[in-house]
Each structure stands twice: as C-alpha cells, then as structure tokens.
Structure 1
Amino acid sequence: MNTLAIRIGKPLSALTLLLASGMALADHHGAKKDIVDTAVEAGSFTTLVTAVQAAGLVDTLKGEGPFTVFAPTDEAFAKLPAGAVDDLLKPENKDQLVAVLTYHVVPGKVMAADAMQADSATTVQGGDIRITTQDGKVMVDEATVVQADIETSNGVIHVIDTVIMP
C-alpha cells in the first residue's frame, strides 16, 4: 500500500491550501497568487473562504507552504445537512471547524499523478484520507476530484464536489 504521509512543522500552515480552492490563477508578471487569493478570485469558494476566516486560518493559508488542498466548492457545502455550515461557523465550534478544514489539507505539493499512485494521505488534521480511482475519476474519501492540479504560489488545489469529514 502506497501512503503519502508528509509531515509539516506547522500543522495549520497546510490549511493555506484550503483557500487555494479558488481556481483562478493570478497572473501578475507571470506570478501565481497564493491559495487564499486564488480562492477569493475564483468566486466559487465563498463558503470555504468564510469558513477559513471564521477559523482564523487566513494568514496561515497565505503562508509559504507548499500545501495540497482538496477544496470543496460552494455546491459541495450546500450538500451538507441544513444548518451544518451555520453551526460550524459559530465561535464555540471553532475547534471542530478547524478539524474539518485541516482534514482537507495535505502538507507538501501533491500533484494528481502522484496522488493516483497512493492509497491514502495523512492530512494536517492527523487523519488519513482514502485515495481511489473509480470510473476514471479520482476519489478522495467520498468526494470526486472535479478539477485537479490548480497551481498556486504556495501549493496546489484539487477541487472536490463533496465536503469530506474526519
């Protein structure tokens, strides 16, 4: 069994990848934007960006990296049970929100071709996500990767269609 188990000294730094879920790549004199700016600019990750802000992870996610973020779209968050996102965003649930967000981040820059060679990866949250291929699509736990290898200045984003839970 191939396992990606990359460790990082600053666990929350990997969350920077979560914000990278915005797919638009910035091009300012050929430079890519970081994960947070990419997510904001994409416009399809407003719930993710709001969650990262509520968790106090913006500065972390703008950090050096590199990080790999499996970024759920707004539509992915909409699949959660009614009220789930609002509950996670409450200040008293910040630890749970951080756990959910960091479960979507793997330390290091893992491109899709590398991920497909692994059976699992250890997340910043500490849990392992399953990586499988089904009908030619890459799956991360129960989520399908709908867009892969969006490179940012501090990592890579793989867009997923479902929020994965630790």
Structure 2
Amino acid sequence: MRKTTLVVLAGAFTALATIAYAANPMVGGAAMFADKNIVENAVNSKDHTTLVAAVKAAGLVETLQGKGPFTVFAPTNEAFAALPKGTVETLLKPENKDQLAKVLTCHVIGAKAMAADVAKMAMDDGGAHMVKTAGGCGLTLKSDGGKVTVTDENGNVANVTIADVEQSNGVIHVIDKVLLPKM
C-alpha cells in the first residue's frame, strides 16, 4: 500500500510540474521562463531582435529588468519593419534616444495585466478600457471573443498574437504593430 501511494504522488507531482512548465508559450522559437525577467527572456526571441536593440539603445534594459510589475506589448521585427522606411534606423541614432525611449515606454504599463484581466477591464468599461503607459501615452484595450487589441493615440490597432507570456517581473503580450505616441 505504501509503494502505491508513492507512485501516485510521484505521478501527481510530475503532472503538476508539467502543467506549470507548459503554461508559458514559446516566443520567437524560444522557451520563455516565468522565473526570468522581461529582458532575460526577450533576448532569446528571434522575433524580437529589433525590440531588444531598441531597448538597449534607449537605455531601458535596467528598467525592464527591475522589480515591476510590467505589462509589455512587444512588437515583432515584422511590426518594426512595417514602419515607414528609415524610421527604425533614425530612432536608433544616439541623438534620438529620448524619442526612442518615448516610443518604447508607450508599450509598457506599470501593472501586470493578463489577457483575462484586459478582457474584464474592457467588459467592465463597456467594451474598451483606457490605460496610461509608463511613457504617458493613452492606449485603448479591447477584447472580443478572446482576441485582444491595443489601439494607440493615433488610431493604430495592434493585435495581440501571443498573450500571457509570464515573466518574473510581469507579463509580455506579443503584438503585430508598433504603438506610437501622438507627436
């Protein structure tokens, strides 16, 4: 009887460990670990090399490695490539560091908001929830049938393509557009 109990407990532990590990989706072909911070995980995503380069150029690495909590709407390389020709190169120049930091911090909310949280906030507010970002931008969050969208101050709509990537200091939601502040 004792041996059977141990086997059952070992099986239950393995199942729980698998569930906990499997909770985070892969991003850019890389595993994302809930015990690593936003920067530690982002550097491993092949889909976020432009974002990582921009975070470094803007001097925001230390901030995004901080305690948080943060919600980061992380645009892919394709999202950056869709900006008008020369935009990324111009923003990455040292003389444009402040402008780059403003663009990037418009993707960061100073709270941890999972997709279910966004859906509840939007529902509670009649379908759309307005939030202020770390950069002072206003974003409108919507959720419709499990699909989350983020609209910036200019009316650009980004779709969340991978939601709820948990981090030790918050959560990342991968998006398909770069959010821009009103200029």
Q: TM-score, normalised by structure 2?
A: 0.73
Instruction: Give the superposition deviation at 1:134.
Output: 5.0
Asked whether the 8 Å contact 1:64–1:154 carries over to 2, the reply is yes
Q: Could you say what secondary structure the match of 2:163 adopts?
A: strand
Instruction: Assess if the C-alpha contact under 8 Å between 2:118 and 2:143 holds in 1.
Output: no
Gap runs ≥5 in structure 2 = 1-26, 123-128, 152-156
Whole-angstrom CA distance in 2 between matches of 1:44 and 1:151: 17
Compare the two structures and name the one with the higher helix fraction: 2
**Aligned sequence identity (%):** 58
How many aligned positions are there?
Answer: 142
Flag structure 1 segments of 5+ consecutive residues without an equivalent: 1-20
Contact 2:37 2:65 in 1 (8 A): yes
Equivalent residue for 1:156, pick from 162, 171, 174: 171
Question: Which structure exhibits the higher relative contact order, with contacts defined as CA atoms closer than 8 Å and separated by 6 or more residues?
Answer: 1
User: Structure 1 CA distance, aligned partners of 2:116 and 2:97?
Assistant: 34
The match for 1:33 is: 36
Query: What TM-score do the two structures reach when normalised by structure 1?
Result: 0.80
Partner Cα separation in structure 2 for residue 38 and residue 103 of structure 1? 20
**Which residue matches 2:141?**
131
Amino acid at match of 1:151: E
Helix, strand or coil for the counterpart of 1:42?
Answer: coil
Instruction: String of CA shifts for 1:42-98, please: whole Å, max 9, x gaps.
Output: 221000000000001111111111100000011111110110000000111111100
Please name the residue that 2:16 is paired with.
none
Q: Indicate the SS of the match to 2:109.
A: strand
Please name the residue that 2:17 is paired with.
Answer: none
Partner of 1:58: 61
Q: d(CA) in 2 for partners of 1:152 and 1:132?
A: 22
- Pairing 1:111–2:118 present: no
Report the 3-state secondary structure (helix = DSSP H, G, I; strand = E; otherwise coil) of the residue aligned with 2:56: helix
Larger Rg: 2
Pairwise CA distance, 1:32 = 1.8
Distance change in 2, residues 1:136/1:153 (3 Å): closer
**RMSD over aligned Cα, in angstroms?**
1.6
Displacement after TM superposition at 1:24 (Å): 3.0
* One-letter identity of the residue aligned with 1:164: L
